[in-house]
Structure 1
Amino acid sequence: MRDVDQLLMNAKCGRFYKPVWNGASLPSFARPRTSRSNNPVARQKKGTIQMSEKRISCTRAINMVRTGPPEAPAVILVHPAGLDLTYWSAQIEALGEDHDVIAFDLPGHGRTSGGPAADWTLENTVATLAQVIRSNGVASAHLVGLSLGGMIAQALALAEPTMVRSLALIGTAAGFSDEARAALRARGATTRDGGMHAVLSSTVQRWFTATTIARRPDLIERVIKTLLADDRLVHAAVWDMIAALDLLPMLHRIACPTLILVGEHDPSTPPSSAEILERLIPGAHLHVIADASHMAPLEKPAIVNAQLLEFLWSLRNAPTAANSHK
């Protein structure tokens, strides 16, 4: 079994498994659609799979994928800092059977260009998410956000409540103690000064349990490769933004149904942080995922998918946000 140090040595020496997200190895949901696909989602009578870049503003195109029945309720997946839309593969496959699923790359992540690090403000990221929804012709959507993605989803629910049908918040928070804010700023400074290598080991050990690190070297190496490709200035700016986050005083205004998921062993946004969200968001429901850390959708995809599907199906006959706010 290889540990994190060995995997990091592999990164420095260029020793990795075959990349799994290029060319013919693209996940099924991201492959170009053909007339006779073996993908059951692509064969849906009313569903299609689309890869696209949509110009959200005059300066940036947002990379995204969309799959599932177009007339079904829309679900938007918002990824965490440092990763990209491909890490939602298990959720896209599961939710795309009965939902119109859209995943996108945040600025400076995946195939979406970054622009100046100064662009990384909460207001700008919320505006990006809002424009992803609008540009796809969606009036209101179910939002699923992991870590940073959950913070952006909460902020949109506060800024544009009619655009949000529900929230599924995974491994996230709405504010931090002064001590935690200082640690987040220090993480940003370390990244800015030392590059992505300087934060790799601590990031992997924060995100995954020791069991996952030992048993899933393929996943850990993939994450390391993704992080090493990130722009250090963008990554640092993201941590500076997170350090300043303070939505706690406003959470009582969130009116949409909310599911909160957290890994049992998550050190970044522990169950105690999730309990605060549950207490402050009216009607929120919390589920703790056993034997998982910060990246629960990657460590326990079947459990996370089951929770998401049960939650979304329970809302099928609920009024849309647009109607409920009339």
Structure 2
Amino acid sequence: MDRLFANGKVNAAQFGNGPVLFLLHSLLSDRASFDAVVPRLSQSFRVIVPELPGFGQSEAVGGGLADIADRMAEVVKEGAGAGEAIVLGNGYGGFVALQMAIRHPDIATRLILADCGAAFSEPGREAFRNMAAASRAKGLSAITDVAMRRLFAPEFQAQHPDLMRDRREAFLRTDPEVFRAACDALAELDLRPQLGQVKVPVLVLVGEHDEATPPPMSRELAAGLPQARLTIIPGCAHVPQLQSPGIFLDAIGDFMTASYAAS
């Protein structure tokens, strides 16, 4: 059942009971990208899956990534109440989660950052500038093939036509202005000088075939965080929880359990 957070500005679905787990979706997808893993996660956690600001029924935020992170910090504080929370972000959701942890050090007990990083290489920055420019000139439909290639390897796309049709439709529902603002923010982002401010344990995950946020970004991220470990997920690209949900759940399982055994 959906619920509104942050004074009615953020829409989120909730499942299960137990310690609170937030799942933040990527830029090229939506919260449905977690549908394959929510049933198992909700057996042990109260899983909250927001639509990030500007997506779905969530109100957009003026400003940059820091403002989005502040909005999501409100959601986490409200959702967790007096309890503790784990925050898992994939792609863009991972950048939001990382920025949130830097700006709000006590917001979560643990972080799982899947397929993101602290800063893009110059070719990575240029890719975001190009996507923003193409979408402005021709609309999101002009970059749908590029977007899907950043999410899934060509072989996976060919083997899962129904899923790809669904993912294309989800991408085309994205607000173009929100998409372009996010591209602009990611093209300029560099959180490397602030990584030392993240004091909680972090699990950094990346699909071995991720072209959007390649494994070197995750290696750099894990190396810069005070308490982090890196796991590379074999055979996966940018959204491993959708491509190989069982492998993804196995990759996060021990880290999730340890977080509450140690609390």
TM-score, normalised via structure 1 length: 0.76
CA drift of 1:178 comes to 3.1
Extract unaligned runs of 5+ from structure 2: none
CA contact (8 A) 1:141 1:166 kept: yes
Residues 115-150 of structure 1, C-alpha deviations (whole Å, 9 max, x = no match)? 7xxx25112211121111122243431110000111
Give the % identical residues.
29
- Aligned twin of 1:61: 9
- Aligned twin of 2:2: 51
Whole-angstrom distance in 1 between the partners of 2:138 and 2:81: 41
Whole-angstrom distance in 2 between the partners of 1:204 and 1:300: 16
Residues 26-53 of structure 1, C-alpha deviations (whole Å, 9 max, x = no match)? xxxxxxxxxxxxxxxxxxxxxxxx3222
- Aligned twin of 2:35: 89
Counterpart selection for 1:157 from 80, 90, 101:
101
Are residue 283 (structure 1) and residue 227 (structure 2) matched?
A: yes
Whole-angstrom distance in 1 between the partners of 2:79 and 2:235: 37
- Aligned twin of 2:130: 186
- Counterparts of 1:226-305 in structure 2 under 5 Å? 226-305=170-249
- Counterparts of 1:87-236 in structure 2 under 5 Å? 87-114=33-60, 119-139=62-82, 140-236=84-180
CA contact (8 A) 2:30 2:171 kept: no
Higher Cα Rg: structure 1 or 2?
Answer: 1
CA drift of 1:280 comes to 0.8
Greater shift, 145-154 or 245-254, is seen at 245-254
CA contact (8 A) 1:84 1:104 kept: no
SS of corresponding position for 1:211 = helix
SS of corresponding position for 1:273 = helix
Counterpart selection for 1:79 from 18, 25, 33:
25
Equivalent residue letter for 1:97: Q
CA drift of 1:169 comes to 0.7
CA contact (8 A) 1:74 1:138 kept: no
SS of corresponding position for 1:75 = strand
SS of corresponding position for 1:162 = coil
Size of the aligned set, in residue pairs, is 262
Whole-angstrom distance in 2 between the partners of 1:298 and 1:92: 11
Equivalent residue letter for 2:43: E
CA drift of 1:260 comes to 1.0
Whole-angstrom distance in 1 between the partners of 2:78 and 2:215: 35
CA contact (8 A) 1:78 1:146 kept: yes
Equivalent residue letter for 2:259: L
Whole-angstrom distance in 2 between the partners of 1:305 and 1:137: 22
TM-score, normalised via structure 2 length: 0.94
Residues 217-249 of structure 1, C-alpha deviations (whole Å, 9 max, x = no match)? 111100111111222121111100111211111
- Aligned twin of 1:12: none
RCO comparison, higher one (Cα < 8 Å, 6+):
2
SS of corresponding position for 2:35 = helix
SS of corresponding position for 2:36 = helix
Equivalent residue letter for 2:215: P
SS of corresponding position for 1:136 = helix
Whole-angstrom distance in 2 between the partners of 1:149 and 1:280: 19
Extract unaligned runs of 5+ from structure 1: 1-49, 320-326
- Aligned twin of 1:34: none
Are residue 311 (structure 1) and residue 259 (structure 2) matched?
A: no
CA contact (8 A) 1:176 1:243 kept: yes
Whole-angstrom distance in 2 between the partners of 1:306 and 1:214: 26
CA drift of 1:205 comes to 1.2
